[in-house]
Amino acid sequence: ADLRALCTEASLEALRRLFPEVYTSVSKVKIDKSRVCVRKCDFDRALAKIIPTSKRSRNSPAHLLPFHMKSLLGVALEDVTKCFSNSANSKVIAKKSMFLIHGDGDMGQAYLGPAILHELESLPSYSIDLPTLLSDASSRSAEESLTRQVTECCSHAPAILYWPHIDLWWDTASESLKTCILMLLDDIPESSKIAVIAVSDCKFEILPNDLKRAFDQKLTRQHPLTRPGMSQRQSFFRQLIAEAQTPPEMKTVPVCVTGRGSVSTVDELSNNIEKGDDKEKSNQKEETLKKQECNALDEEDELILCKLRMFLRNVVERLMKYFKDFVYPVDDPDYRRIIQMPICLVDIRDKINNSVYKTVGQFLTDIDLLVSNAKEYYLPDKFVGRNIINKACHLQDSTFSMTCQFPKGLSVKCDEIQARRELVKAKKSRSNDDVELTDRMSPEAEPQPQEVQTAATEEDAAKSSPSAIGSTENGAAVKESTEEPEQSILGEKEVIEAKSDKLVSDMKIENDLQPPTVEQKSESSDTQEDVTLILNVQEMEDVCEFAAKRTVDSPLKELEHTYLTMLMDIRGFSDSWDRSELPRTLRKSLTV
């Protein structure tokens, strides 16, 4: 499988090298297959991209060194990784190499070992710690698992054999396991490109004699870990100053929080309105309140429709899982000729994503259409047709059963939203008709010939004038329409002007309902930018200096605990602009 993947990726690399327009062009490109020739450079690039099965199936112990620990363990990490500076072509990995990282307990061994493996991620690593050996389900014993790990490491050279907590490992392991590991390490040829990285939680002098012989000082690179110095501890705690100087997140005040709006927003708007006349003041108040109510209503409607979409999407996903015959459209040329309105579950899902359904009833209508199409297309006299129709009826009943779980209160609100939006749509269509009529009756229109204008006037007067309608019933419509054309036109113009004024006012309200512009937002942001962070940096530096002095003889684990405690105190002030009491709080937590 790995070889097949390598060849496939190499072929794609050759195609990408010879015909790069395939990956950049939108249209189809005709290529000459005879020109595609796979070379060594294509295999090299493909080999760097793919991950072998043996490496994918293992859980690597490699982890990135935490950012806050770099000031304490960064130097030790650089000292070890210098030996592997040239990856697989390094002189150190050209032969069997032994590395031992030792020191007192809680000196960062738990961070340093995985960080070294992460820096050497180009090399495969194999861990032989006790949890890995005992949890190997493919082996019957720890000895068998250990043998398999070391054998795989040697077969995938250059590679790294990682042995953490060797002191605890040696105290816990059985005699057979100890003998097995010593024999396996001795059997590794000196010419093999294997690096054994061992980590000890105690000093080299305290290790058992067998481990001392295995990691002889003449053949092993030893890296003792020491307690961090004063400068390292100071830089470690000074990282908290940057965290303390981080300003709080800007929280914009919403225009309307509830259905009645924010009280502070209403007060600010009312104060601005008082500058105008009494009439303008009342109009602006009404427009402001209407604006807030409309915004709140729109937010509530969108939230309800979002819940409806989530529910319907879940229903469709369950239907697509169990009724696979109706997922995609029928691939038959005659299907479009027989079925006038084809639909499938994928189409229904797309409608849900496009917010087409505003109620559950609309969704069930399309489900009924899907079932009726199945009954119309498939013949019931054949077994296949009866089976499909049975599945369609099953789908219909299942859908109805699942939609009954939708809360009735939300369903009623969805119906109200649909009715309200249809009413608004109808009003807008009537307004558009009024605008068209206004444009048609405006004096700026092109002048018509006298005969045509007289005929149009007579026709409009005959339709609009009540007297003309009455005379039409009596058979004298033409006479009265010619007598009162000017009066009917003037009356109609007054009606149109009234409607156009109402339309302009409605459009003004709709414009007011739009979200605030960039200038309005910038004004609100300027008020927030005026607030400054109150923090004495010199006092923070003194606190960090005090923390570094108090942790002179502390192990690294205690240093990290102190750091995290101070970090939690700083984050307690994250929402406040006034942090003048923060240094005093940190000093108090250090003295406890």
Instruction: Indicate if the pLDDT at residue 90 is higher than 60.
Output: no
Is beta strand 220-224 parallel, antiparallel or unpaired with respect to 159-163? Answer: unpaired
Per-residue pLDDT, 486: 42
- In the structure, what pLDDT confidence band is assigned to residue 399 with cuts at 50, 70 and 90? very high
Question: Which of 161-170, 241-250, 361-370, 497-506 has the least mean pLDDT?
Answer: 497-506
Residue 272 falls inside a structural domain:
no
* Residue closest to 5 by CA, chosen among 56, 52, 54: 52
- Distance, in Å, from the CA atom of 582 to the CA atom of 70, rounded to the nearest integer, reads 25
Average pLDDT over residues 334-358: 89
Angle at 516 between CA 511 and CA 519, to 5 degrees: 120
Instruction: Indicate if the pLDDT at residue 257 is higher than 50.
Output: no
Question: Same domain, yes or no, for 90 and 21?
Answer: no
Question: Same domain, yes or no, for 37 and 177?
Answer: no
Number of domains within the chain: 5
Per-residue pLDDT, 510: 42
> pLDDT for 517-527, tens place per residue?
434 444 444 44
Residues in CB range of 582: below 8 A, 6 or more apart = 244, 535, 540, 569, 570, 573
Question: Same domain, yes or no, for 211 and 337?
Answer: no
Question: Same domain, yes or no, for 464 and 482?
Answer: yes
Higher pLDDT, residue 323 or 575: 323
Question: Which of 115-124, 282-291, 389-398 has the least mean pLDDT?
Answer: 282-291
- Distance, in Å, from the CA atom of 198 to the CA atom of 292, rounded to the nearest integer, reads 68
Structure-token pair, residue 492:
């109609």
Residue 269 falls inside a structural domain:
no
Question: Same domain, yes or no, for 124 and 211?
Answer: yes
Instruction: Indicate if the pLDDT at residue 348 is higher than 90.
Output: yes
Instruction: Indicate if the pLDDT at residue 465 is higher than 80.
Output: no
Average pLDDT over residues 189-218: 84
Question: Same domain, yes or no, for 471 and 330?
Answer: no
Residue 346 falls inside a structural domain:
yes
- In the structure, what pLDDT confidence band is assigned to residue 432 with cuts at 50, 70 and 90? low
Per-residue pLDDT, 42: 92
Question: Same domain, yes or no, for 581 and 555?
Answer: yes
Average pLDDT over residues 371-400: 87
> pLDDT for 40-63, tens place per residue?
999 999 988 887 765 665 567 788
Average pLDDT over residues 297-304: 80
HEC readout, 184-252: HHHHCCCCCCEEEEEECCCCHHHCCHHHHHHCCCCCEEEEECCCCCHHHHHHHHHHHHHHHCCCCCCCC
Average pLDDT over residues 123-136: 84
Per-residue pLDDT, 250: 60
- In the structure, what pLDDT confidence band is assigned to residue 36 with cuts at 50, 70 and 90? confident
- Residue that is last in its domain, among 410, 437, 463: 410
Question: Same domain, yes or no, for 76 and 213?
Answer: yes
Instruction: Indicate if the pLDDT at residue 258 is higher than 70.
Output: no
Residue 308 falls inside a structural domain:
yes
Residue 530 falls inside a structural domain:
no
- In the structure, what pLDDT confidence band is assigned to residue 8 with cuts at 50, 70 and 90? very high
Average pLDDT over residues 481-502: 44
Q: Which residue segment(s) compose the domain that 498 sits in?
A: 421-512
Residues in CB range of 290: below 8 A, 6 or more apart = 509, 513
Average pLDDT over residues 333-346: 86
Residue 140 falls inside a structural domain:
yes
- Distance, in Å, from the CA atom of 181 to the CA atom of 7, rounded to the nearest integer, reads 38
- Distance, in Å, from the CA atom of 184 to the CA atom of 566, rounded to the nearest integer, reads 47
Question: Same domain, yes or no, for 307 and 341?
Answer: yes
Per-residue pLDDT, 481: 41
Is beta strand 194-199 parallel, antiparallel or unpaired with respect to 159-163? Answer: parallel
Question: Same domain, yes or no, for 62 and 41?
Answer: no
CATH number at residue 216: 3.40.50.300
3-state helix, strand, coil in the chain (%, to 5): 65, 5, 30
Residue 113 falls inside a structural domain:
yes
% of the chain beyond a pLDDT of 90: 9
Instruction: Indicate if the pLDDT at residue 80 is higher than 60.
Output: yes
- In the structure, what pLDDT confidence band is assigned to residue 571 with cuts at 50, 70 and 90? confident
Per-residue pLDDT, 436: 59
- In the structure, what pLDDT confidence band is assigned to residue 316 with cuts at 50, 70 and 90? very high
Per-residue pLDDT, 174: 87
Instruction: Indicate if the pLDDT at residue 551 is higher than 90.
Output: no
Long-range pairs of 470-478 with CB within 8 A, sequence gap ≥ 24: none
H/E element, 473:
helix 466-474
- In the structure, what pLDDT confidence band is assigned to residue 567 with cuts at 50, 70 and 90? confident
Higher pLDDT, residue 92 or 389: 389
Average pLDDT over residues 394-416: 89
Question: Same domain, yes or no, for 289 and 369?
Answer: yes
Question: Which of 249-263, 410-424, 435-449 has the least mean pLDDT?
Answer: 249-263
CATH number at residue 359: 1.20.920.10
The backbone torsions φ and ψ at residue 16, rounded to the nearest 5 degrees and listed phi first, read -70, -35
Residues in CB range of 304: below 8 A, 6 or more apart = 410, 413, 414, 417
- In the structure, what pLDDT confidence band is assigned to residue 129 with cuts at 50, 70 and 90? confident
Residues in CB range of 366: below 8 A, 6 or more apart = 343, 347, 348, 351
Residue 256 falls inside a structural domain:
no
Per-residue pLDDT, 349: 92
Per-residue pLDDT, 550: 83
Question: Same domain, yes or no, for 402 and 304?
Answer: yes
Contact 164, 129 (CB under 8 A): yes
Average pLDDT over residues 218-239: 83
- Residue that is last in its domain, among 163, 193, 226: 226
Does the model's pTM come out above 0.85? no
- Mean pLDDT value across the chain: 75
- Residue that is last in its domain, among 512, 527, 562: 512
CA distances from 83 to 115, 116, 158, 579 (A): 15, 11, 14, 46
- In the structure, what pLDDT confidence band is assigned to residue 368 with cuts at 50, 70 and 90? very high
